[in-house]
Chain A
Amino acid sequence: MAAATAVPAVPGTRQGPPPTPPARVVPLALAGLAVAVVAGGCAGLALHSLHAMIEHPAAWAQALIWLLAVAACLPVVPAVRALLAAPQRTRLVAAGDLPGARASAADGREHATVAMGYALSVLIGAALVWFVTANDGAISHTFLRWTFIDQAWSGVTKAFWVNIRVAVAAEVLVLVLGLVLAVMRQLPGRSGRPLRWLATLYVDMFRAIPSIIVLYLVGFGLSLAKVPVVKDLSPIWLAIFALTLTYSGYVAEVYRAGIDSIHPSQWAAARSLGLSYPMTLRTVIVPQAVRRIVPPLLNDFIGLQKDTALIGVMGVTDAFTQSRLVSSDVFNLSPVIVVAVLFVVITIPQARFVDRLIAREQGRRAGRTS
């Protein structure tokens, strides 16, 4: 059979390689043990520094620190199990039970790699704790002082509503303007050329200009130049306008990718039924494209939400501006941490929501095709 597929060097002598015993486990297991021990030691040092920083920790805090210390040593367990698997492998090899030896060697290697993975995570955690507590807790005193957080909290959360309102209004406008731009970029034929060109220019420009510059120019330029209508807008509306300008460029590209991703046969089918170009776009192409673009669209929206922290440059008091006011009063950065946490709090649900949407879409497709 082998002769049919490969020509042996000497006819009739070709053989498969002899079965080999599995590789030794001991080196990997020792490496795992070493990493686990080092990680445990580092964690001990870091927790000691934490203990020292808190000065007189309450009983529950003490208990927690001890618990963490024990947890940091846990990766030693799989490392030891890996070491225990090594002699078993040797025994089975000696007994000629190659499959058994391979299985126990594989077990040993898996325990060793598990030990390393967890030990590395412990190391990273220890580094973080050390960073926060080092220098007698200077870091945590600067960023995480509870009294200042408490003091800034109500003012900053109130100001955060401005960020949310600006973000939501800009997102609605961006959805519309982005679609208009994307459709303009797709217009067919000679008549569409100037509009295609303009839309491309717009997208290129506003994706290139940093949004803080657009905010600055819109915020001060438009009222300085006494542009009619616009000059009477409140700074909040100007902020919405500026963010819409920037982000509709991004979202236009998202829409365009979505429209491009619809197979040309869908165009052919719709047109062959007598649907016009705009009708095809509206009833067949865009509805299918929209489903696919939700995740990238949400990415851009998260970017937009974060950029609302920049609207302070045009004189709007948003959460970041507010937190900086408090911050410079107390000469401590803890109030700014409040803003950071607020942004995290609004972003995570959106990220999970997109995950759910994607999972549901995939589930529906799988359910339908099976």
Chain B
Amino acid sequence: MTFLQIRDVHKSYGDHEVLQGVSLDVARHEVVCLIGASGSGKSTLLRCINALEEISSGDILVDGDVVSGRGVDVNRLRRNVGMVFQSYNLFPHMSVLRNITLAPTRIGGVAKEAAEERALALLDRVGMRDKANAYPDALSGGQQQRVAIVRALATNPQVLLLDEITAALDPELVGDVLAIVRELAGDGLTMLLATHEMGFARECATQVCYLHEGRILERGSAEQIFEDPQEERTRQFLGRVLTGGRL
């Protein structure tokens, strides 16, 4: 059953049409990887789904309900659709624990103790329980990104959007973060991720979409896209990326 549906979405910044009619269906428990060159619109698409950007035309549906356009309760939508950013974006003036419990306590109506208990349990899962009282600046990039993932999970989202979450990390830290995403995929969390980690996409994605200049040029299973791409452009892109040493 389709859980997240994107129907012919267009998005322009001024004269520049960044998304030129993107359509995408994501079923529950799917892990969809968006790949494509820099500037192809991956981040923009994710930000539109999270309503951080207003779309110019088209529809976005979550669980059969239109969540784009005027009058939508974006705050409720965002509690269902979590997002993790390339640059972590933790709140530097709050401890790790407070970063995580802020949204559940302030808007989810969860009691402080319950929220902290859950936050600690989640931190435990990502091996960060001992850093609960640290401040973000005292953490490595990989640790910050793990906290950011936990923060997004703390509101119990049904879909998680991950925007190149390992792109700013040192190579030896990438593994830690991807291991968590892999585990979440195993738990059946629905995820949509923009990534340059082709090895990870090949291993975990149930669906891979190749974006080119604001369109999904080709889509299919990981096997299809990586072993037998149909489009010339996809082949070129993969050729460039894979010989570039990013596997």
A and B associate in one complex:
yes
CB neighbors of A among B87-141 (8 A): 87, 89-93, 102-103, 106-108, 135, 137-138
The total number of A-B Cβ pairs within 8 Å is 64
Does residue B240 face the partner (Cβ distance < 8 Å to A)? no
With A284-B91, A369-B137 given, is the CB distance from A275 to B107 under 8 Å?
yes
Task: Give CA–CA (A272, B52) in the complex, Å.
Answer: 7
Q: List 23 A-B contacts (CB under 8 A).
A: A265-B87, A265-B89, A269-B89, A269-B148, A271-B74, A272-B50, A272-B78, A272-B82, A272-B85, A272-B152, A273-B102, A274-B78, A274-B103, A274-B155, A275-B75, A275-B106, A283-B102, A287-B93, A365-B137, A368-B135, A368-B138, A369-B137, A369-B138
In the complex, the answer to whether A274 meets B75 with C-beta atoms within 8 Å is yes
Contact of A274 among B47, B79, B137 (CB under 8 A): B79
Task: Give CA–CA (A50, B211) in the complex, Å.
Answer: 84
Which chain B residues lie closer than 8 Å to A265 at the CB level? 85, 87, 89
Task: Give CA–CA (A268, B107) in the complex, Å.
Answer: 16
Does residue A121 face the partner (Cβ distance < 8 Å to B)? no
In the complex, the answer to whether A276 meets B93 with C-beta atoms within 8 Å is no
- Closest beta carbon of chain B to A190's beta carbon, Å: 12
A interface residue count range (under 10 / 10 to 19 / 20 to 34 / 35 or more): 20 to 34
Does residue B76 face the partner (Cβ distance < 8 Å to A)? yes
In the complex, the answer to whether B76 meets A273 with C-beta atoms within 8 Å is no
With A273-B102, A274-B78, A275-B103 given, is the CB distance from A266 to B137 under 8 Å?
no
Q: Count B-side interface residues using an 8 Å CB cutoff.
A: 29
Which chain A residues lie closer than 8 Å to B91 at the CB level? 266, 269-270, 284, 288
Chain A 294-337, CB-CB to B under 8 Å as 1, else 0, gives 00000000000000000000000000000000000000000000
Interface centre among A269, A275, A284 (most CB of B within 10 A): A269
In the complex, the answer to whether B138 meets A273 with C-beta atoms within 8 Å is no
Q: Using CB atoms, name the residue of chain A closest to B135.
A: A368
In the complex, the answer to whether A276 meets B135 with C-beta atoms within 8 Å is no
Which chain A residues lie closer than 8 Å to B76 at the CB level? 274
